[in-house]
Structure 1
Amino acid sequence: MTAKEKIYKWIEENREEVTGLLQKLIQAPSVNPYFDEETIYMKEGDAQRVLEAYLKDMGMTTEYTYPDAKKLASYEGKPGYYADHTFEDRPNLYAELKGTGGGRSIMLSGHIDVVQRGSKWTQDPFGGKIIGNRLYGRGAVDMKGGIAAMTCAVKAIQESGMKLKGDIRIGTVVDEEAGGMGTLALVAEGYRADGCLITEPTHLKIAPLCRGILWGKLTIEGRAGHIELKQGDFRTGGAVDAIDKASLYLEQFRRLNKEWSVAKEHKYLPIPCQIHIAQFQAGEYPTTFANRAELTFNAQYLPSEKDENGLGSKVKKEIEEFVKHVALTDAWLTDNQPKVEWLIDADCGETLDDQPFFKTVRDSARKVNPDSVVEGICCHTDMGWFCNVGIPTLNIGPGDPRLAHQADEFIEIEELLTCTKMIASIVMDWCGAEENS
């Protein structure tokens, strides 16, 4: 039996260890306080302490660090920095297992925070219940399942009598679900490795990039007037329906998306970047033309489009210019220019396919799961800052990402175990290993 076969055998024989760790993590609720849940659920520190105990039992050295907006003030204007975020009992956890020497180091990273539990659950969102081959709970997919898989992958290597040559570093961070200040702090504190694997849910796909995400709000002014009466020209005091003007933008965004579907595609992404209207708010009374319309939108951008700060200012400018151009086609909008307000700019990252880490991850993963395809992540992950400081980074994790943030979020146990094997294979091939003497 080969070394890897021994590791895979340990994972199969100790599947309850893998699922048990995930259950304990889910049972320590860690809702990001951004979502304004009851105080009882705002304890990212509790989940970190569950993981720390497990890592210490494995013989890893551990330490907590706390993001601090004042200490990170030099990063203002860069990805992940928010001056108003606070971190009481919201620590990052860093752990390390030294290798024997002569190998490459790897960082295994993931975020410990989860979104709000939400409504319409039929299972306890913090129960971690197993029904058949499914394990339920908030964070089962996004992304405590990935954290359990990467942690147990390292333990499986240890328990199978292997000693890694390169160092293993584990960094679990807070605040990913509200902007990524945890990863910013981890990187700013100087934690590094020769390669980084983020175990966000990818359904076992190999993801060498994630897109940047912009949230914006377009405000279009109108002029109220009685909706049942004939209105004259706006220049002589007539009403202007903001909903009608907003419909012009809806039509023009559809046109722009056709252009973006060609100009903003990537060989490793299943869909191109687009602008999607997520919210439409307008009007005050059923008898009055809307005097204002607000369109909240989501726009994505590629790693090749990010600016010198690693953000999407170039795409912001492109959208702002588009809004101005559309306004010039309408007399009212020309005189009453719509305004764009930017709400979120979540950064992106990419590791090119000619890099050694990409090739090792791809080939090692496929030794376990030949069906794993290379496909980028269409939403945001924390990989941007690792890439920014020169650490090649890829995402591989268990779970269908479409189940993230849903009621009755669940992970398939067999997929969780397969991913644990994949991560163990990657770690072995990247770090190098030898039999314990």
Structure 2
Amino acid sequence: MNDPELALLFDTLSIDSTWGKEKELAQYMGSQMESWGVDDVELVDSMPGRPSVGGRIRGTGKGRSLILNGHLDIYEMSPDWTRDPFNPGIEEGRIYGGGIADMKAATTAALAVMRRIATSGERPAGDVIFQGVSCHFEGGVGTRSLLEAGFTADAAICGEPTDNTIGTVHRGAAYLKITTFGKQAHTSAKELGLNAIETMEPILAAMRKLEGVMPYEPHPDLPGGPNLNIGTIRGGTKHNQVPDRCEMTCDIRLLPSQDPYDVKIQVEQMVSELKASDPRIEAIVEFSDHWLSGPRLPYEIDKNSPISRTVAKAVQEAGISPVYQGIQFWTDMVPLKQFGIPSVNVGPGTPPYSWADEWVELAKYRQIIEIYDNAVHSWCR
């Protein structure tokens, strides 16, 4: 293939980095950066056996530094794929491959910019940092581990799929686990037990009602209110046993005006009210372990902040009119912010973000490389 930036994408798409299996892709990206002469390249174990990869091109010391952040982990492949997800191809202007929208196209574009700079023979004034992060789906664990390892900067760009629109605000989430407790008994003596599935039923109904009454302030870039999905229900051991446990997990997507900790308190109050009318109900409300590994807080940055203006200028220089659009999902801009690093998001890919025969437009992949390259030159001088 004569196009090295497209070949780079085909290489990353051919490596299966399904959630939990990021190591091979991290190693590949690290070896590529070393071969280009990137100054500092390091694999950092974000979780056991799941390394993230950081790279730094050192500037001359007279400019601002910038992170290009993208995650390596992708969701499991749907059985509905009609092609091999790890044998990428191009058809009618679309590049197909597993995880290309969420988010190998953007992560590889950031890597391509590192290649451009490292092989150009010229040094930027400020450092340019690549973060290829594992464990994103655990709530930014990979990003935090690279920041702790020293791959920090004055600002950052994330590349989650927004169809190359600029994201300065996104929703947060509360992942809750509710467990009801009963008493085990045999069906033939069920009056001696307490069915935990039955005591979960009024909680499920109340959760659906809660979605429509939770207080929030509308946001112009995030239409609608909070939304709730009941994701799993587990209860009981056998058909002829009264279940003594039932567990429900849910995902509540929040507006910037909402706090996940406050939402948990609202759910606890709702359960207490149900118990007051039905003393059989015994339940606890917890954040799920998956949420606790990286709290999904909302994010917002001023559109007139320096990094926002820089990215808008970079988009314009790539021949596109800058469009700001709120992001309905969570991004690693939160852990970056927690380390004092202001961030914005721009990356290729459209809803539903992860699907059978996933694709990204070839033109959008080329655009995002130019946007990142423009942003680096503008920000790092």
The question of 1:337 aligning with 2:282 is answered yes
After superposition, the CA RMSD in angstroms is: 3.3
- Report how many aligned residue pairs link the two structures: 376
Question: What letter matches 1:277 in structure 2?
Answer: I
Counterpart contact for 1:350–1:384, Cα < 8 Å: no
In structure 1, the residue matched to 2:266 is 318
In structure 2, the residue matched to 1:361 is 311
Counterpart contact for 1:350–1:387, Cα < 8 Å: no
Match of 1:140 among 91, 97, 100: 100
In structure 1, the residue matched to 2:72 is 112
Task: Name the CA shift for 1:202/1:15 in 2 (closer, same or farther; >3 Å).
Answer: farther
Task: Return the alpha-carbon distance in structure 2 between the equivalents of residues 190 and 318 of structure 1.
Answer: 39
Structure 2 gaps of 5+ residues are: none
Task: Return the alpha-carbon distance in structure 2 between the equivalents of residues 251 and 119 of structure 1.
Answer: 32
1:384: Cα distance to partner?
Answer: 1.5
The question of 1:279 aligning with 2:232 is answered yes
Match of 2:38 among 57, 60, 78: 60
In structure 1, the residue matched to 2:27 is 49
The question of 1:16 aligning with 2:3 is answered yes
Task: Return the alpha-carbon distance in structure 2 between the equivalents of residues 133 and 53 of structure 1.
Answer: 30
Match of 1:386 among 333, 336, 350: 336
Structure 1 gaps of 5+ residues are: 1-13, 34-41, 69-84, 232-236, 307-311, 433-437
Task: Return the alpha-carbon distance in structure 2 between the equivalents of residues 412 and 15 of structure 1.
Answer: 19
Counterpart contact for 1:64–1:91, Cα < 8 Å: no
1:389: Cα distance to partner?
Answer: 1.5
Question: What letter matches 2:152 in structure 1?
Answer: R
1:213: Cα distance to partner?
Answer: 2.6
Counterpart contact for 1:67–1:181, Cα < 8 Å: no
Task: Return the alpha-carbon distance in structure 1 between the equivalents of residues 241 and 127 of structure 2.
Answer: 67
Task: Return the alpha-carbon distance in structure 1 between the equivalents of residues 233 and 15 of structure 2.
Answer: 37
1:298: Cα distance to partner?
Answer: 0.6
The alignment's TM-score, normalised by the length of structure 2, stands at: 0.84
Task: Return the alpha-carbon distance in structure 1 between the equivalents of residues 199 and 87 of structure 2.
Answer: 49
In structure 1, the residue matched to 2:157 is 197
User: Aligned runs of 1:87-236 on 2, under 5 Å?
Assistant: 87=49, 90-156=50-116, 164-221=124-181
Question: What letter matches 2:339 in structure 1?
Answer: V
The question of 1:28 aligning with 2:15 is answered yes
Counterpart contact for 1:187–1:385, Cα < 8 Å: no
The alignment's TM-score, normalised by the length of structure 1, stands at: 0.75
Match of 2:374 among 425, 428, 436: 425
Task: Return the alpha-carbon distance in structure 2 between the equivalents of residues 206 and 22 of structure 1.
Answer: 22
The question of 1:249 aligning with 2:218 is answered no
Task: Return the alpha-carbon distance in structure 2 between the equivalents of residues 95 and 145 of structure 1.
Answer: 18
Sequence identity, in percent? 27
Question: What letter matches 2:202 in structure 1?
Answer: L
In structure 2, the residue matched to 1:269 is 222
Task: Name the CA shift for 1:153/1:66 in 2 (closer, same or farther; >3 Å).
Answer: closer
1:93: Cα distance to partner?
Answer: 1.7
In structure 2, the residue matched to 1:80 is none
Counterpart contact for 2:70–2:106, Cα < 8 Å: yes
In structure 1, the residue matched to 2:350 is 400
1:163: Cα distance to partner?
Answer: 5.3
Counterpart contact for 2:179–2:247, Cα < 8 Å: yes
SS at match of 1:142: helix
Task: Return the alpha-carbon distance in structure 2 between the equivalents of residues 119 and 362 of structure 1.
Answer: 39
